[in-house]
Chain A
Amino acid sequence: EAGVTQFPSHSVIEKGQTVTLRCDPISGHDNLYWYRRVMGKEIKFLLHFVKESKQDESGMPNNRFLAERTGGTYSTLKVQPAELEDSGVYFCASSRVGEGYGYTFGSGTRLTVV
């Protein structure tokens, strides 16, 4: 089966611009998660979708971040306007509902805000 796909793999934008990251989960995986790793720090949870519903968005840093998952398939994470501290690697992961042990991660999007 195809893995979790994220794009772009890299993005360099200027402070104040908008960027949209996309994640395509494995087909049939209703759970979708976004995580972020700022350089040298932990990978931190951002939010969790079950199908198109936000199950937990407690990790979203502020209202400049907007995540959507229309139709319960792919998800987008928009940062608007981007700030320098938003730089990092954004990971997406998916899993089947009821299979809480297994997560498949994408290769991440490296976002650099200059």
Chain B
Amino acid sequence: ELKVEQNPLFLSMQEGKNYTIYCNYSTTSDRLYWYRQDPGKSLESLFVLLSNGAVKQEGRLMASLDTKARLSTLHITAAVHDLSATYFCAVHPIYQAGTALIFGKGTTLSVSS
């Protein structure tokens, strides 16, 4: 069965601290996505990672991909309250003809002062 596992599922952080969200997946994938969702809002695309060793950064967020380990990380640097949201990773299985994504359960991040 195809699985995408995120951990932790809940993360309470203090402002200014660093932390990492992990995303493991069970199948060969040709791309990995990170999305952010604020309550009641749509999923906002953060990063698309296409190759082994890919690293992308936007502001305080940095995502990386290790296709051999089937692992992606989303690193948060010096967290601020505005980063509070739910973060999802999703993969596209390489053998799959369609373009459906397999999502993880999401990591709910709460940043407090």
Binds A, one of B42-50, B53-61, B63-71: B42-50
Q: Which of A64-114 contact B (CB under 8 A)?
A: 91, 93, 95, 100-108
Interface residues of A in 1-55 (CB under 8 A from B): 3-4, 9, 31, 33, 35, 40-45, 48, 55
Segment from B11-19, B72-80, B98-106 that makes contact with A: B98-106
Size category, B interface:
20 to 34
Known interface pairs A3-B42, A9-B40, A42-B105. Does A101 touch B100 (Cβ–Cβ under 8 Å)? no
Nearest residue, chain B, Cβ from A6? B42
Cross-chain contact of B100 among A45, A91, A104 (Cβ < 8 A): A45
Contact A103 B101 (CB under 8 A): yes
Please name all residues of chain B whose beta carbon is closer than 8 Å to the beta carbon of A108 when the two chains form the complex. Answer: 40, 42
Bound Cα distance from A4 to B43, whole angstroms:
11
* Pair B45/A59 contact, Cβ less than 8 Å: no
How many chain A residues touch B (CB < 8 A): the figure is: 29
The closest CB in chain A to the CB of B40 belongs to A107
Given contacts A3-B42, A107-B40, A107-B42, is CB(A101)–CB(B31) below 8 Å?
A: yes
CB-CB under 8 A from B99, the residues of chain A are 31, 33, 48, 95, 100
B88 is an interface residue with CB less than 8 A from chain A: yes
Q: In the complex, what residue of chain B is closest to A91 when comparing beta carbons?
A: B43
Cβ of B21 under 8 Å from chain A: no
Alpha-carbon separation in the docked complex, A78 to B105 (Å)? 25
Report the Cα distance A102→B105, complex, angstroms. 21
Query: Which positions in B face A, CB cutoff 8 Å?
Result: 4, 31, 33, 35, 40-45, 48, 50, 88, 90, 92, 97-106
Chain A residues with CB under 8 Å of chain B are 3-4, 9, 31, 33, 35, 40-45, 48, 55-56, 58-59, 91, 93, 95, 100-108
Question: 12 A–B contact pairs at CB < 8 A?
Answer: A9-B40, A35-B103, A41-B105, A45-B100, A48-B98, A48-B99, A48-B100, A55-B98, A91-B42, A101-B31, A105-B35, A106-B42
